[in-house]
Every structure is written in structure tokens, then in C-alpha cells.
Structure 1
Amino acid sequence: MKLTRRTPNPQSETIIALIDVVFFLLVFFMLIGRMDATAPFDVTPPQAETGADMPAGGATLSVSAAGDLALDGREVFGAYLESAFAALLADDPDLTLRINAHRDAEIRHVLPLVGRAEAIGFRDVVLVVTPGAAP
């Protein structure tokens, strides 16, 4: 008696393993890739100094919640701010400017003041902050 073996049917190639590999590669590249635009040069963000002593002397520019300005306790209107800055710098060219903004003041009222102060000639502009409660 002669026994013959059945020839096995060729199995169709499964692509399940290939799908798993592609999925793992996709997850890997999503985790290591950067999704935001990067600058063409190195950018190191500044470090905030909370708890440091306020620099002595200088002028204080106060910003209300509505965006009104007061320079050293006297109300100043935006159009006359540069002339008031120039008058202060004429007396002391190394004067420090402190910007003390209300916590509800919008950033659009505060940030342009820094640029305007630097354009006039202030070398040091300090933003006054209140440190939060320690966790």
C-alpha cells in the first residue's frame, strides 16, 4: 500500500503583520516628531525671576485694567507717552522703567509699551509681577 501525502494548500500571505508594523512606525514618528514650526536658529526662552528684589529707583508706568496709563502717579495719555519718556531720560539716561500692569489688563495694552520704551532709549524695562501662592 502506497500512501500519498496531500500537498498543502499554499496559504495566502497575511498582511496583518505588515499593518502592525506600519501602525507602530506611525506612532513612533508621531511621538518623536515635532508638529510645530521651529525657528531656523536656537531660541532659549527667558527665565522669570520671582521673589527677586525690585530694582531701586527708576520710573513706574502703571497700566489699569482698561488700558489707562499713569507715569509716576500722574495720568498720561498715549500720544504724550514718548515725550514723557524722553523728559525722564534727559534727566537720567540709565533710568530703569518698571511697568506695573493690573492683573486684568490685556496683553495688547502692555506689550507695546515695552517696545515704545526701548525705542525711546530705556535700557532696562522691568515687568512687575506678583508671585502666586506656593503649592
Structure 2
Amino acid sequence: MRLKRPKPAADSEANLIPLINVVFLLLIFFMLAGRLAPTDSAALAPPRSDSPQSARATPLILLVDRTGQMSLDGELLEETTLAERVAERLANGPPHLQIKADATLEALRVVELLDRLRAAGAEDIDLLTLAREE
């Protein structure tokens, strides 16, 4: 009586190699794609809004944190140089400006900031908010 030997498992392992290659390629792709989006230079919690937001071309973005520290497209600014930097950027770049302000920033500071930006030549200004959760 002869016993049959089981076939070696080499065939099933050979079929897994292309699958493993594809999984690793997908892993590398998503690791690289996740880094393409720029992050904000300050930690912010924007206020919420009931109004819908429209999509536009890439604007000039001004970040203002709760202490009043400002960053224009990733470059930290002092309040004294804000007007000239905004005027330079608006002359060479997009025609509109978006402001991402922290929700805890005083409203009077936001109004003063808007006045300074209008004096610097910014006419199209958006204050970014989050939609309210219902």
C-alpha cells in the first residue's frame, strides 16, 4: 500500500507574492499622497456657520490664532508688517484673501483686522467657518 504525499505548498505561496507587492505599492502611494496637503502652521478651531461656502481658485490664506499671532501662507507676520505683505501678495497673486481665525479670538480684533486688510487693498475677503452640526 502506497501513501500519497501532499503537494508542497510552494504553489499557494507563489500566488501570494503579487498580492503582497500590490499591497506594499498601495501602502507607499497612500503614505506619499497623505503628505501632499499642506498643514496649517497654527492650531485653530474655526467658528461654525449656517451659511453655505463656495469653492474658488486657491486664495491667499491668513491664519490668526487665539493670541493674535498671524501667518500669511505659512509665513509668520507681525502686525506692523501685515499691511505691506498683504499688498505685495495681492499685487502678485490671487485676487482674494481668506481668513482662518480661531473661534475664541475677540470679534473686535477680527473687525480691526478686516479694516487693516481693506486699507492694504484687499477687497475680496472671506472669513472661513465650519458648518453647524445639527
What band does the TM-score fall into relative to the shorter chain? 0.5 to 0.7
Structure 1 61/123 Cα, relative in aligned 2: closer, same or farther at 3 Å? same
Letter in 2 for 1:120: A
Letter in 2 for 1:69: M
The structure number with the bigger radius of gyration is 1
User: What are the ranges of 5 or more consecutive residues in structure 1 without an aligned counterpart?
Assistant: 1-47
Asked whether the equivalents of residues 61 and 72 of structure 2 are also in contact (C-alpha less than 8 Å), the reply is yes
Deviation, structure 1 residue 51: 2.7
Q: Secondary structure at the match of 2:113?
A: helix
Structure 1 112/54 Cα, relative in aligned 2: closer, same or farther at 3 Å? farther
Aligned to 1:111: 111
Deviations 1:56-109 (A, max 9, x none): 2221111101111111111100000011011112214x6101011011111122
- Percent identical pairs in the alignment equals 26
- RMSD between aligned residues: 1.8
Aligned to 2:130: 130
Aligned to 1:87: 88
Asked whether the equivalents of residues 63 and 110 of structure 1 are also in contact (C-alpha less than 8 Å), the reply is no
Instruction: Determine which structure has greater relative contact order: mean sequence separation of CA pairs < 8 Å that are 6+ residues apart, divided by chain length.
Output: 2
The alignment's TM-score, normalised by the length of structure 1, stands at 0.57
Aligned to 1:56: 57
Asked whether the equivalents of residues 62 and 100 of structure 2 are also in contact (C-alpha less than 8 Å), the reply is yes
How far, CA to CA, are the matches of 2:91 and 2:133 in structure 1? 40
Deviation, structure 1 residue 49: 6.6
Structure 1 112/61 Cα, relative in aligned 2: closer, same or farther at 3 Å? same
User: What are the ranges of 5 or more consecutive residues in structure 2 without an aligned counterpart?
Assistant: 1-48
The alignment's TM-score, normalised by the length of structure 2, stands at 0.58
1:18-97 aligned within 5 A: 50-92=51-93, 95-97=95-97
How far, CA to CA, are the matches of 1:124 and 1:55 in structure 2? 12
Aligned to 1:98: 98
Q: Secondary structure at the match of 2:53?
A: coil
